Amino acid sequence: MKRIKMGCTTLSIPAMALGIMRMNQKSVPEAQVAIQAAYDAGINFIDSADIYGGGKSEEIFGQAFSQMQIKREEMFIQSKTGIVPGKRYDFSKEHILHSVDEILERMQLDYLDSLVLHRPDALMDPEEVAEAFDQLQAAGKVRFFGVSNFDTAQFKLLQSCLSQRLMFNQLQFSLKHTGMIDFGMHMNMVDKPSVDRDSQFLDYARLHKVTVQAWSPFQYGMFEGTFIDNDGFPKLNQELQKLADKYEVGKNAIAAAWILRYPANIQMLVGSMNPQHIRDSAKGAKIRLTRQEWYDLYLAAGNYLP
């Protein structure tokens, strides 16, 4: 598994993480198979959130992981907080501290390697978040911190009040979600792709050594479904298959390789609980697409160059 530097540190993490959003749909033995498949492929990074499965995903993970032979220190375990489903976003100190305690209990852990704030809270008080982070770090409950779906200004505002460096920003990025790079190639144009909806965060991340975590790497839209083997995207799947045949892997690996080819210190989040899909996706970290192959996929996904 390809390794990358975590944020501004010298610590190395795998270029892929296993997202456990769907682990609530699995039994404990099935969850163990998924975790082991990821670990054997070099993916020793877990990404969770307190809202996944209403907390059940973390419960299943905790039960599964506690019975496995993998040592805790061999895994980097991350969770997210800040969304109260259907009600509000909540970055209050009280909510953050309480959520972490509940996460640790569900996952049967003494600490999280990383805590990520899950989508921006319009009522965020950066100083209050800073107090929560300081308390969690001092208590040994969280080692590192990050955010999810923050634009550049929001990221900079929060960072200005923290004693810790923010390591991560989770952003949607895939062959069918390319807005973060479209506008750069359509600079000085008046067409739809020229609109910057992401405040140039990829460039900011490269300048300031922030690890971008790409979520929904095989999805189109928000959660409409996967574009892999989807009849609605024949040209893209034809191109994926052509390269899959060349590199002797599956389509997931090629779609993953496309994301990791972009030079922005990206870590891709694999959300599948299917061991075969996990193993195939992991193979993408070993593939370095040529420039033409990367652009051929970009164009096959429905994009165009000015």
Q: Which of 39, 52, 204, 298 is catalytic?
A: 52
Round to whole Å and give the CA distance between 291 and 306. Answer: 17
- 70 touches 38 (CB < 8 A): no
Rounding to the nearest 10 degrees, give the CA dihedral for residues 189, 191, 197, 198.
-50
52 as an active site residue: the answer is yes
Q: Report the SS3 class of residue 93.
A: helix
Query: Measuring CA to CA, how many Å separate 210 from each of 2, 12, 18, 72?
Result: 18, 13, 19, 25
- 55 touches 102 (CB < 8 A): yes
Query: Hey, which bits of the chain come out as E strands?
Result: 3-5, 12-14, 16-19, 45-47, 76-81, 83-84, 88-89, 112-118, 142-148, 166-172, 211-215, 219-220, 225-226, 266-270
Neighbour count for residue 88 (Cβ, 10 Å): 13
Catalytic site positions: 52
